[in-house]
Amino acid sequence: MAPVSSLASTVDQRIADALSAALPKAGSAAPLLRRSDRADFQANGILALAKQLKGNPRELASQVVSKVAAGDVIKEIEVSGPGFLNITLTDRAIIETLAARAADTRLGVPYAEQPGTTVIDYAQPNVAKEMHVGHLRSAVIGAAMVEILEFTGEKVIRRHHIGDWGTQFGMLIQYLIEHPHELDHRSGGDHGGQGGPSSDAVGTDAGAAADGETAMSNLDRLYKASRALFDSDEEFKDRSRDRVVALQAGDEETLAFWQKFVDESKIYFYSVFDKLDMEIHDADIVGESGYNHMLEETCRILEETGVAVRSEGALCVFFDDVKGPDGKQVPLIVKKSNGGYGYAATDLSAIRDRVRNLDATALLYVVDVRQSLHFKMVFETARRAGWLDERVHAFQLAFGTVLGKDGKPFKTRGGETVRLQDLLDEAVERATAVVREKAEKAGLSEREIVENGRYVGIGAVKYADLSTSAVRDYKFDLDQMVSLNGDTSVYLQYAYARIKSILRKAGDTGPAAHPELELAPAERALGLHVDEFGQVLAEVSSSYEPHKLAAYLYQLASHFTTFYDQCPVLKADTPAQVENRLFLCDLTARTLQQGLALLGIRAPERL
C-alpha cells in the first residue's frame, strides 16, 4: 500500500505552496513546521525569509495566509507574534489520516527513500571472559538499531566482533594441553537447535542458562589456574609464549584447542543473549580472528603507501591532533615491534572487508565511548589509505558507562564487576514481584506471572539503557527501572495492556474511524502524536539515537493516559463515538507495540 503522508508533511506542503504563490522570489524557502501548544502546528520559516527579502515578517506572513487553501485539512491559520503562523487542523483530516495508517500493517510508515547497506558492529564480548554491563549496552543499543534500520528498509548486516584472539590464548591453550580433561565434561552443545514451542520466549530455556553458567565457571577456573601457573612458573611462561607463536602460525593442534575456548565461550554468550531475549546467530559472529588472513596485507599496504611508518620498531600511523600529555604525538600502532598485530590492524582489516566484500554504505560501531580515540584514528587511517571515502558513512555510536546507585562505575560491594546474569536475574525477580502484586486484579495464571515477570524485567533493563542518550552515563537502579510510574518500560507495557483490556471489554463493538465526529482536545493530542511515528523513526534511523524513539513512546503512553482520564471510551455519548475512541485506542496500542518491539521489548496482552 502507498505510504501515508503524515499530517505534518501535508501541512508543510500546503504552506510551502502558499509561500511560493505569495512570494515567488522566496525560492524554495522552508515553512519550518513544528508541533505547538498554542495550535496544532507553528511555522517559523517566515522570519528568516523576511530577513532575506528585507520585508516585514508579519506582512509577509499575512500574504502567505491569504494563499492558504483553508477547509479540508487546515481549519484555521493565523499570524502570531513577530511573524509565526499558527495552524489548526480539521478533526476530519486527523481521523482520515489515522484511518489510512490503521489500514496498513506498517502503520503507514514509509520506507527510506534511498536505503543502503549498514554493517553494524555490536554485541562483541570477549572469549574466555565474563561479560560485563558494557557488553550489555552494546547488545541492547545495537539490537534496537538493527530493528529500526531494517524497519525503514535498510539492508543490515550484523557483525559481532568478539575478542577471540590475542596473546592471552597462548597461556590458556598451553594450560589446557597440559590438563586435557579440564574442558572434556560434555560433547558440543550446538546452538540454535533448541526449537520447541517455548523457544521464542525469554529465558524459558533453563537448560541453556545452566549450561552457560557451567561454561563460564569452567573458563573462569581455567583462566585463574593458567594465570597462576604463568605467574609462578618460568618454564610454563616460555611454553605459553611459544604457544602464541604456534597459534599465529596456524598450527592445527593449537587451533583445535583455541576452538574449544571459543565454543565454550559461545555457549556462555548465547545463554546471556537468550536471557536478554535477543537473537544472535553464529554466522554473524566474526571475531577478531576472522580477519587474520588480511592483517599482513593491511599492514603492507599501509607501509607501502606511506600511511604508516616505522617508529621504534613498530608500524605506526601519526595524527597532528593526537598528542599525549607530554605534547608528543601518540600513534595508532598497527604492528608491534615484536611482530604482533593489535586491535587496530584487525579493525582496519574489518573495514576493508565490510566495504569491499559486504558493500557497506554505512559502518556503525556500537562501542564504549572510551574507545572513541581508537575509532577516530582507525577511521582516519582508513580514509588516508582510500578504504573509506565519502560514499561510506563510518560512525561510532558511542555509549557511556553504567554507574551504580552511588554514581560510581557499577561494582559489587566487594568491588568486583557485577556478573551480567546475576543482574538480569535480579531484574526479573523484582519485576515478577511487581507483576504478582497486580496479577490478581488482572486474573493472571502463575504461568503468565512468570512469563510477564521476564518480559517486564528484561524490558526494564533494556529500556533504562535505551531511554537516555547513549553517550551519557546512566545509573543502574532496579527500583527505579521497575517502577510503575515515570519513564519506564513497565509504564509503557501497562498502557498497552490497559488498552488491550478495553478492547476485550468492548466485546462485539470494534474499532472504527468516524471522520465526521468532533474531537475532544485529548483525542486530537493523542491522534497528532500517533501520526508522528514515521517521522520519529526516520529521524532515529539517520541520527542513530534510539532514545528518541523511547521518548516518543513514553509521550505516547502519557497522551493515552490523559485521553483515558478525560474521554470515556466504552461509556462515550454515542455508538459512533465509542467506535471512534476504540479506533484511537487500537491504533495507539499497535503503535506502542511496534515501537517497543523495535526496542527489543515485549508487550504482554494482559498484565
Residues paired with residue 78 on neighbouring β-strands, in sequence order: 86
Q: How far apart are CA 121 and CA 291, in angstroms?
A: 14
Closest separation in Å from C-beta 131 to ligand ARG: 9
CB 212 to ligand ARG: min, Å: 18
User: In the numeric block, which cell numbers belong to residue 590?
Assistant: 499497535
Minimum separation from the CB atom of position 168 to ligand ARG (A):
13
Q: Write the burial class of residue 218 (CB in 10 Å: 0-12 exposed, 13-18 middle, 19+ buried).
A: buried
CB of 140 to ligand ARG, least distance (A): 15
Closest contact distance (angstroms) between CB of 156 and ligand ARG is 16
Question: 335 is written with which cell numbers?
Answer: 604492528
Q: Which of 124, 248, 271, 432 binds ligand ARG (CB under 6 A)?
A: 124
**CA 551 to chain centroid:** 13
Using the minimum distance from each CB to ligand ARG, give the nearer residue, 121 or 264. 121
Stretch that binds ligand ARG, among 8-16, 121-129, 429-437, 503-511 (CB under 6 A): 121-129
State which residue, 344 or 553, has the beta carbon closest to ligand ARG. Answer: 344
Residues 6+ apart with CB under 8 A from 290: none
Q: C-beta of 347: minimal distance to ligand ARG in Å? A: 5
Report the site for ligand ARG in 369-388 (rule: CB under 6 A).
Answer: none
Residues 6 or more apart from 249 whose CB is under 8 A from it? Answer: none
Secondary structure E strands in 215-257: none
Task: Kindly state the smallest distance separating residue 273's Cβ from ligand ARG, in Å.
Answer: 15
Contacts of 579 (CB under 8 A, 6+ apart): 509, 510, 511, 512, 514
Minimum gap (Å) between residue 543 Cβ and ligand ARG: 21
Site for ligand ARG in 332-371 (CB under 6 A): 347, 365, 367
Closer to ligand ARG by Cβ: residue 397 or 603: 397
What size, in residues, is the chain?
607
Residue type, 372: S
Nearer to ligand ARG, 124 or 152 (CB): 124
Alpha-carbon gap, residue 401 to 396, rounded angstroms: 15
Q: Which is nearer to ligand ARG, 108 or 290 (CB)?
A: 290
What is the rounded distance in angstroms from the CA atom of residue 230 to the CA atom of residue 238? 9
Q: All 3 cell numbers of residue 242?
A: 611459544
Shortest Å, Cβ 181 to ligand ARG = 29
Name the residue nearer to ligand ARG (CB basis): 129 or 336: 129
Question: What's the gap between Cα 366 and its chain centre?
Answer: 9
Q: Segment near ligand ARG (CB under 6 A), from 81-89, 96-104, 118-126, 530-538?
A: 118-126
Q: What phi and psi values does residue 351 have, to the nearest 5 degrees?
A: -60, -45
**Taking the complex as a whole, how short is the minimal distance between the CB of residue 132 and ligand ARG, in angstroms?**
8
Shortest CB 572 distance to ligand ARG, Å: 54
Q: How many chain residues bind ligand ARG (CB under 6 A)? A: 8
Minimum CB separation of residue 296 from ligand ARG in Å reads 19
CA distance linking residue 325 with residue 456, whole number of Å: 47
CB 8 within 8 A of CB 532: yes
Per 3-state DSSP, what percentage of the chain is helix, strand, and coil (rounded to 5)? 55, 10, 35
Please, which residue, 126 or 248, has the CB nearer to ligand ARG? 126
Q: Between 288 and 327, how does the x/- string for binding to ligand ARG read (CB under 6 A)?
A: ----------------------------------------
| SS3 state of residue 426 | helix
Query: Which one among 6, 97, 126, 594 touches ligand ARG, defined by CB under 6 A?
Result: 126
What residue type is 320 in one-letter code?
A: D
Residue-wise burial string across 127-141, b where 16 or more C-beta atoms lie within 10 A, e elsewhere = bbbbbbbbbbbbbbb
Which of residues 3 and 342 has its CB atom nearest to ligand ARG in the complex?
A: 342
Task: Choose between 122 and 560: whose C-beta lies nearer to ligand ARG.
Answer: 122
Q: How far is the CB of 126 from ligand ARG (least distance, A)?
A: 5
CB-side neighbour CA atoms (13 Å) of 530? 32
Q: Binding to ligand ARG by residue 83, rule CB under 6 A? A: no
Which of these ranges, 119-127, 141-149, 187-195, 544-552, lies near ligand ARG under the rule CB under 6 A?
A: 119-127
- Between residue 140 and residue 169, which ones bind ligand ARG under the rule CB under 6 A? 161, 163
Select 194 or 372, whichever has its Cβ closest to ligand ARG.
372
Nearest CB to ligand ARG, comparing residues 399 and 554:
399
Please say whether the dihedral angle defined by the alpha carbons of residues 305, 309, 315 and 320, taken in this order, is positive or negative. negative
Distance between CA atoms of residues 393 and 399, nearest Å: 19
Q: Could you tell me the smallest distance in angstroms from the CB atom of residue 176 to ligand ARG?
A: 22
Beta strand pairing call for 74-80 and 402-403: unpaired
- Edge-first strand order for the sheet with 74-80 is 33-35, 41-43, 84-89, 74-80
Please report which residue ranges of 320-367 form alpha helices under DSSP H. 343-352
Stretch of residues binding ligand ARG (CB under 6 A), selected from 37-45, 120-128, 265-273, 565-573: 120-128
Residue among 40, 121, 451, 465 that touches ligand ARG (CB under 6 A): 121
The residue among 365 and 560 lying less far from ligand ARG, judged by its C-beta, is 365
Edge-first strand order for the sheet with 314-317 is 309-311, 314-317, 332-335
CB atoms within 10 A of CB 404: 16
The smaller minimum CB distance to ligand ARG, of residues 84 and 365, is found at 365
- Judge whether 375 and 367 are in contact, CB under 8 Å: yes
Query: Is the Cβ of residue 347 or residue 586 nearer to ligand ARG in the bound state?
Result: 347
> Smallest distance from the beta carbon of 230 to ligand ARG, in angstroms?
22
- Return the closest-CA partner of residue 16 out of 102, 56, 74: 74
- Total Cβ atoms within 10 A of residue 314: 18
Q: Which is nearer to ligand ARG, 121 or 130 (CB)?
A: 121
- Binding track, positions 451-490, relative to ligand ARG; x by CB under 6 A: ----------------------------------------
3-state secondary structure of 157: strand
| Distance between CA atoms of residues 138 and 476, nearest Å | 15
Residues found near ligand ARG in the complex (CB under 6 A): 121, 124, 126, 161, 163, 347, 365, 367
